[in-house]
Chain A
């Protein structure tokens, strides 16, 4: 199979127009510092961070704003120096348009850094120490999954991972932020990935880059030339090549089993931008407070890549790049898997690789028709699932049936919906079903917790009653004892008085 795949292109996936140029070729620009920054407390998978600053407090750039809470969590840091205005709710970059907690920062324009503590030689540090410093810098997976990087390091070390796979696939159309990172910061990426190799104990690294990014491949080859254990591997441009399971399969020939993690087949995947962030966290002692983000789409006048602080509003980015038309649709991330935004007043988060403003033509969505069972989706599905069967079951409300067809293996890549000639929003069906299943699971756990609470209350009431009875019995015993004592005392007093009187009488 490995041999076949070397000679033939993978059969899965789709090949949409990539729309990456001309944005990818525009030199990197820096977003002028916005007056206000809105730093959400949860920009990662896991528990939200807990604020450690107060409203009104002055902070420096890179200062801890909120600390990690729980095993899987990440801290957030001040993206610039200034004053904390408020800790409150702002609209989350989420299709629901619901609010999330965020720290609002008024920048003072000085960009004064907190005292940084760079590590001169990260390779002299213990792997645990690298994981600790990475976690403290708030580094999360920047490819979009936003899983805390340090947690993954520890997992890789525990499962004895031999190969680090560095994901430079960036298969989503329109996006070129990873491309920009590899072109501009190739040396940082390579140093960062070598630090990651040290942290997880990997012997070699494979950097997979889609062959539609020749400049990035050349820059990375030049940067990796001195290191024999780092191989740059161009891979065919095909969506979703940047998905970890697909990239692993193409680069190593190993298939990650369903319900297993990549680390269980001896590899660990990190994004190129994450590796660059690890480099900055250690070599410069800088927390993750900014990222390179692609601003693209038909409604943008000057598309390109911007270096922007975390917490800048999407509206700030769009205003800087200029709008040629009123955007018909706003997306954070890529067009295939990105997050639909309710409006532009949402903050930029760590996992946001792009901001897309589509014009009416790009956003046009043909009305969905009935499924004609053509099977195109089954060919396109990179996980080998049957999207049409899953969707028909979900439509009928049969979530268990959809799970039986492998709903949990779906990576929500959107290939099926992209090829569907009836334009059925298949991914929305799957997202809906997953949400409902998760809600059902939460309800079940809640039921169990309720039962436990009721039992514990029963036990508590029984214990209270027992203790009350014991206390009453004790009091009664004491009373009885006191009574008996008193009785004995009066008796002895009577006896002695009788004796006295007897004595008095006797003479």
Chain B
């Protein structure tokens, strides 16, 4: 009885130690690029790129199997940042991007069905059954999931209005250009 306990304990300890050391010794680094790309992405896992969420898209972009323009909500700004990160040149004219956009509910058409609320990845839509829904601007990422779900086409993506707080001086035109 005692011999069995001791031998099994010893065996367990030796094997466990071996496994632990092996994990350290043969540790495989996850691709740091994937994590860096993921940090740039919107993170709402909306799925418009066709990959399983932002981590999936990030690994596909890092592997080169997806273009840097894959993320529709990220738009031109994200494509540019990703191209810089990966050191590749892209033609930004190819990216269909009308600037950042967010969802808006047309209150006179909304029937209060709650379907858009369920698909919003950031819980940006407020409302209840048979009550008019509304979008919280600060939380909306413009992924467009709600637009497809709305049975009455009350939800549309609208360009984010430029305000005094967001306006940026244009870069001066090059001399002689």
A interface residues with partner B (beta carbon < 8 Å): 42, 92, 94-96, 98, 100, 367-370, 394-395, 422, 424-425, 428-429, 431-432, 435-436, 438-439, 442-443, 447, 449-451, 453-454, 456-457, 460
Task: Tell me whether chain A's interface is mostly helix, strand or loop, or mixed.
Answer: helix
- Closest residue of chain A to B40, judged by CB? A447
A to B CB contacts below 8 Å, 29 in the list: A42-B164, A94-B164, A94-B167, A95-B169, A96-B162, A98-B163, A100-B164, A369-B175, A370-B175, A370-B176, A395-B174, A424-B172, A425-B172, A428-B169, A428-B172, A429-B171, A432-B171, A435-B167, A435-B168, A438-B168, A439-B166, A439-B168, A447-B39, A447-B43, A449-B139, A450-B122, A453-B44, A456-B123, A460-B123
Residue B29 at the chain A interface, CB threshold 8 Å: no
Interface size on B, residues (CB 8 A): 28
Residue B49 at the chain A interface, CB threshold 8 Å: no
Asked if A454 and B44 sit within 8 Å, CB to CB, the answer is: yes
In the assembled complex, which residues on chain A have CB atoms less than 8 Å from the CB atom of B168?
Answer: 432, 435-436, 438-439
In the assembled complex, which residues on chain A have CB atoms less than 8 Å from the CB atom of B124?
Answer: 453
Nearest CB of chain B from residue A93's CB, rounded to whole Å: 10
- Closest residue of chain B to A431, judged by CB? B169
Residue B67 at the chain A interface, CB threshold 8 Å: no
- Closest residue of chain B to A422, judged by CB? B175
- Contacts A429-B171, A454-B45 given; 10 further ones with Cβ under 8 A? A98-B162, A98-B163, A422-B175, A431-B169, A432-B171, A435-B169, A450-B141, A453-B44, A456-B123, A460-B123
Residue B170 at the chain A interface, CB threshold 8 Å: yes
Q: What is the CA–CA distance of A261 and B120 in the complex, to the nearest angstrom?
A: 43
Q: What is the CA–CA distance of A189 and B47 in the complex, to the nearest angstrom?
A: 63
In the assembled complex, which residues on chain B have CB atoms less than 8 Å from the CB atom of A424?
Answer: 172, 175
In the assembled complex, which residues on chain B have CB atoms less than 8 Å from the CB atom of A439?
Answer: 166, 168
- Closest residue of chain A to B173, judged by CB? A368
Residue B108 at the chain A interface, CB threshold 8 Å: no
Q: What is the CA–CA distance of A456 and B40 in the complex, to the nearest angstrom?
A: 20
Nearest CB of chain A from residue B5's CB, rounded to whole Å: 39
In the assembled complex, which residues on chain B have CB atoms less than 8 Å from the CB atom of A436?
Answer: 168
Residue B31 at the chain A interface, CB threshold 8 Å: no
- Closest residue of chain A to B120, judged by CB? A457
Q: What is the CA–CA distance of A431 and B170 in the complex, to the nearest angstrom?
A: 9
Residue B56 at the chain A interface, CB threshold 8 Å: no
Most-contacted residue by chain A among B77, B167, B170 (CB, 10 A): B167
Asked if B169 and A454 sit within 8 Å, CB to CB, the answer is: no
- Closest residue of chain B to A429, judged by CB? B172
- In the complex, the number of residue pairs spanning A and B with C-beta atoms less than 8 Å apart equals 77
- Closest residue of chain A to B53, judged by CB? A454
- Closest residue of chain A to B161, judged by CB? A98
In the assembled complex, which residues on chain B have CB atoms less than 8 Å from the CB atom of A454?
Answer: 43-45, 121-122
Contacts A368-B175, A369-B176, A432-B169 given; does A451 touch B164 at CB 8 Å: no
Residue B91 at the chain A interface, CB threshold 8 Å: no
Q: What is the CA–CA distance of A370 and B173 in the complex, to the nearest angstrom?
A: 12
Asked if B175 and A367 sit within 8 Å, CB to CB, the answer is: yes
Asked if B172 and A432 sit within 8 Å, CB to CB, the answer is: yes
Asked if A96 and B164 sit within 8 Å, CB to CB, the answer is: yes
> B102-142, CB under 8 A of A: which get 1 and which 0?
00000000000000000001111000000000000011010
- Closest residue of chain B to A426, judged by CB? B172
In the assembled complex, which residues on chain A have CB atoms less than 8 Å from the CB atom of B141?
Answer: 450
Asked if A92 and B164 sit within 8 Å, CB to CB, the answer is: yes
Asked if A394 and B122 sit within 8 Å, CB to CB, the answer is: no
Contacts A94-B164, A98-B163, A450-B42 given; does A432 touch B170 at CB 8 Å: yes
Q: What is the CA–CA distance of A460 and B121 in the complex, to the nearest angstrom?
A: 12
- Closest residue of chain A to B84, judged by CB? A397
Nearest CB of chain B from residue A261's CB, rounded to whole Å: 22
Nearest CB of chain B from residue A464's CB, rounded to whole Å: 11
In the assembled complex, which residues on chain B have CB atoms less than 8 Å from the CB atom of A94?
Answer: 164, 167
- Closest residue of chain A to B170, judged by CB? A432
Q: What is the CA–CA distance of A95 and B168 in the complex, to the nearest angstrom?
A: 10
Asked if B44 and A450 sit within 8 Å, CB to CB, the answer is: yes
In the assembled complex, which residues on chain B have CB atoms less than 8 Å from the CB atom of A451?
Answer: 43
Q: What is the CA–CA distance of A431 and B168 in the complex, to the nearest angstrom?
A: 8
